[in-house]
Amino acid sequence: MTLAPVLPVALAAGAGAAILARRRRWPAVLLAWQDRQRQRAALGALDDRLLADVGLGRAEAEREARRLD
């Protein structure tokens, strides 16, 4: 049996609706951040020949791999 959360009427409209929308959005934001971090780590693991193929140098790849945003 699943219980639906009970929301106060004040949260169902107005500013409360915006708060609820942000709470529902945070998993997608977290997953996008994790995906960027995974891609940056993969970029940092490429060898110099592959980096040259995508137009990056070793220093640029390492700088990007260290980013946390």
**Residues for the chain: how many in total?**
69
Instruction: Answer yes or no: is pLDDT of 6 > 60.
Output: no
Q: In this structure, is residue 20 part of a structural domain?
A: no
Q: In this structure, is residue 6 part of a structural domain?
A: no
Q: Which distant-in-sequence residues (6+ apart) come within 8 Å of 19 by Cβ?
A: 11
Q: In this structure, is residue 38 part of a structural domain?
A: yes
Cα dihedral 44, 46, 50, 55 in deg (nearest 10): 0
Q: How many domains does the chain have?
A: 1
49: domain range? Answer: 32-69
Residue 9 or 23, more confident: 23
CB-CB contact of 53 with 29 (8 Å): no
As given in the structure block, the two tokens for residue 28 are 């997608």
As given in the structure block, the two tokens for residue 60 are 């640029």
What's the pLDDT tens digit per position in 12-49?
556 777 776 777 788 888 999 999 999 999 999 999 99
Q: In this structure, is residue 5 part of a structural domain?
A: no
Q: In this structure, is residue 18 part of a structural domain?
A: no
Q: In this structure, is residue 22 part of a structural domain?
A: no
Q: What is the pLDDT of residue 65?
A: 94
